[in-house]
């Protein structure tokens, strides 16, 4: 019996030690998965959501922005989430958009120089309708002043210009035929910039600012006799139902800033800023490729709905050139601060050599 105890007791002690080790009950360093702290959970990436304000959902440039939003969402695995809205949905007319972007009411959206020229006349430098002989000339002007425009917007309004989008040639959509200068006398024309209002006045008409989404009703009710917009935008808003004639074009491809509130921009990580600008630049290039086709497309669509296209006569073209020298350029120079202002200096240095019209020390305009 004593001999048996010699073997049993060590065996029992060994089994007890094994049980204690398995349960973590010894004083050693051995730990088990059951007693280790849980691994830290992987945090999902931060999502940056923005509301983008398009001028109008029906317009081709806004449709390109919608595609851009989808591309950014896919490329960033959902980190850049851009929700599309529009000026009509947000109750915006246009002239207040730069201020709303500055104070953070707007995150991100379209800023058209013609709309906001009252706050910032310098931005109209590449939007002086009547001044450009061709869309190519206007694009050359835009490229010459673009960096100055971006810098001034950043300095004065704290907005980050991400890219630009382009609209097609502008036409006058009229309820009556406009074949001679006399046909313009007293005509109430919807305009979308101060410079365009000066052009209307030079033709004998009265320019009136009306929000784009409200023009259809104003034409329908007789508040307006005509309205100016791009060929495809007019079709998208069904102006062919309330006007009969497509007159022009006023050769111009309005360029519109795609801009973001500075605080929202600064909050984005650098890699997302880079992706946003890269994809926006691709959208801008695609827009520029398409816009020339939109010019004629809008006219053809309107004619198919029963409208008549009336090109400007030599008489009307001459009156437009006179309005450029007598009203459009000198009035813009005065709004921009006069001959010694930064904007006018940029114009004379970079724009005048392209368009052949300079601003003189007395504020008048003349051929170079």
357: tokens are 């019209």
Average pLDDT of the segment spanning 174-201: 97
Instruction: Tell me what pLDDT residue 37 has.
Output: 54
- The answer to whether 225 and 251 are in contact (CB under 8 A) is no
With pLDDT > 70 as the criterion, what percentage of the chain qualifies? 89
Instruction: Tell me what pLDDT residue 40 has.
Output: 55
Instruction: Tell me what pLDDT residue 74 has.
Output: 98
211: tokens are 């929000």
Question: Which is more confident, 84 or 4?
Answer: 84
- The answer to whether 107 and 267 are in contact (CB under 8 A) is no
- The answer to whether 165 and 64 are in contact (CB under 8 A) is yes
- The SS3 call for residue 206 is strand
278: tokens are 């890269």
Instruction: Tell me what pLDDT residue 256 has.
Output: 97
Which domains does the chain possess?
Answer: 48-346 (3.40.190.170)
Could you give the CA distance from residue 180 to residue 253 in angstroms, rounded to a whole number? 25
Residue 152 parent element (H or E)? helix 135-157
Q: Where are the beta strands (DSSP E) in 70-186?
A: 80-86, 108-112, 159-166, 170-174
Q: What spatial distance separates the first Cα and last Cα of the chain, rounded to whole Å?
A: 127
Contacts of 58 (CB under 8 A, 6+ apart): 233, 236, 237
Helices (H), 256-328: 262-266, 270-304, 314-323
Residue 24 has pLDDT above 60, yes or no: no
Could you give the CA distance from residue 191 to residue 170 in angstroms, rounded to a whole number? 11
- What does the pLDDT look like over 36-92, one tens digit per residue? 555 556 788 999 999 999 999 999 999 999 999 999 999 999 999 999 999 999 999
Instruction: Tell me what pLDDT residue 38 has.
Output: 56
* CB half-sphere exposure, 191, CA atoms < 13 A: 22
Average pLDDT of the segment spanning 246-254: 93
Residue 11 has pLDDT above 80, yes or no: no
C-alpha R_g of the chain: 32
Nearest to 355 by CA among 202, 120, 129: 129
Beta-bridge mates of residue 206: 188
């Amino acid at each position: 019996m004593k001999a048996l105890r010699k073997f049993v007791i060590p065996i029992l002690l060994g089994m007890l030690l094994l049980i204690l080790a398995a349960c973590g009950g010894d004083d050693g360093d051995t730990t088990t998965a059951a007693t280790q702290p849980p691994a830290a959970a992987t945090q999902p990436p931060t999502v940056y959501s923005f509301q983008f304000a398009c001028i109008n959902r029906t317009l081709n440039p806004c449709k390109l922005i919608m595609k851009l939003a989808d591309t950014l969402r896919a490329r960033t695995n959902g980190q850049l989430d851009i929700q599309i809205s529009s000026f009509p949905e947000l109750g915006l007319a246009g002239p207040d958009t730069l201020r709303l972007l500055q104070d953070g009411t707007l995150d991100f959206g379209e800023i058209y120089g013609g709309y906001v020229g009252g706050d910032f006349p310098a931005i109209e430098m590449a939007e002086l309708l009547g001044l450009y002989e061709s869309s190519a000339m206007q694009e050359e002007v835009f490229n010459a002043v673009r960096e100055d425009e971006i810098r001034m917007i950043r300095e004065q309004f704290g907005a980050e210009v991400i890219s630009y989008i382009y609209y097609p040639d502008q036409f006058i959509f009229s309820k009556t035929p406009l074949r001679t200068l006399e046909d313009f006398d007293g005509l109430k024309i919807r305009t979308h910039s101060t410079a365009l209002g000066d052009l209307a006045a030079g033709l004998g008409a009265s320019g009136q600012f009306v929000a784009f989404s409200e023009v259809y009703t104003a034409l329908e009710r007789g508040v307006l006799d005509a309205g100016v917009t791009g060929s495809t935008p007019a079709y998208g808003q069904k102006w062919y139902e309330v006007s009969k004639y497509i007159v022009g074009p006023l050769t111009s491809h309005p360029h519109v800033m795609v801009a973001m509130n500075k605080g929202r921009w600064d909050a984005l990580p650098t890699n997302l800023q880079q992706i946003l600008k890269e994809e926006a630049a691709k959208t801008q290039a695609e827009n520029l490729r398409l816009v020339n086709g939109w010019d004629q497309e809008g006219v053809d669509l309107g004619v198919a709905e029963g409208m008549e296209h009336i090109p400007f006569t030599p008489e009307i073209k001459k009156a437009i050139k006179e309005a450029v020298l007598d009203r459009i350029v000198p009035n813009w120079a005065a709004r921009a601060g006069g001959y010694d202002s930064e904007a006018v200096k940029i114009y004379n240095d970079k724009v005048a050599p392209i368009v052949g019209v300079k601003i003189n020390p007395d504020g008048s305009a003349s051929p170079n």
